[in-house]
């Protein structure tokens, strides 16, 4: 299957793939996508993120669950793009999160790179290994499973 790349000039394509919108869109763009095998999504973390109001006042830290969501959205974009290239437009649903680890805090000013690698794909279920990187350092990791469905 042909490589598909979405970048900041094509943010409209990303918005067409994912159902998420502000304030829950956790990736700003896809900088690399090799079908459903591998992809990199990017999130530029700013002090203007609404979750920093309460997490934590005076010491803003991006919640780990939102880092996992950024991984899931990157993997979801990969799945949805693959299926769209095959002529269907299903929805993707998070199924499992395994082996989640948080290594370092993510703070305003960081750029998070979500590296997603497909572990396997069987029928309508994909499993990915995700790594969140900031400045080349691992900040979070997890294995994420998602299911595709033609129904809502």
Catalytic residues: 55
Q: Alpha-carbon torsion 97, 103, 108, 110, what sign?
A: negative
Element of type H or E holding 15: helix 11-17
Place of tokens 């994912």: 18
**What Rg do the C-alpha atoms of the chain give, in angstroms?**
15
135 to each of 59, 65, 140, 141, how far by Cα in Å? 20, 20, 13, 15
What residues form DSSP beta bridges with 59? none
Q: Do the strands 125-134 and 111-122 form a parallel or antiparallel pair, or are they unpaired?
A: antiparallel
Whether the CB-CB separation of 99 and 143 falls below 8 Å is answered with yes
């Amino acid at each position: 299957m042909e490589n598909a790349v979405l970048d900041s000039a094509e943010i409209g394509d990303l918005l067409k793939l994912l159902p998420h919108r502000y304030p829950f869109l956790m990736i700003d763009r896809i900088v690399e996508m090799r079908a459903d095998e591998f992809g990199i999504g990017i999130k530029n973390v700013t002090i203007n993120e609404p979750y920093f109001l309460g997490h934590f006042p005076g010491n803003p830290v991006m919640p780990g669950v939102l880092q996992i969501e950024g991984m899931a959205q990157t993997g979801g974009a990969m799945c949805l793009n693959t299926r769209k290239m095959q002529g269907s437009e299903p929805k993707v649903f998070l199924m499992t999160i395994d082996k989640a680890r948080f290594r370092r805090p993510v703070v305003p000013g960081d750029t998070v790179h979500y590296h997603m690698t497909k572990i396997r794909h069987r029928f309508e279920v994909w499993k990915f290994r995700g790594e969140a990187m900031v400045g080349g350092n691992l900040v979070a990791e997890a294995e994420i499973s998602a299911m595709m469905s033609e129904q809502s």
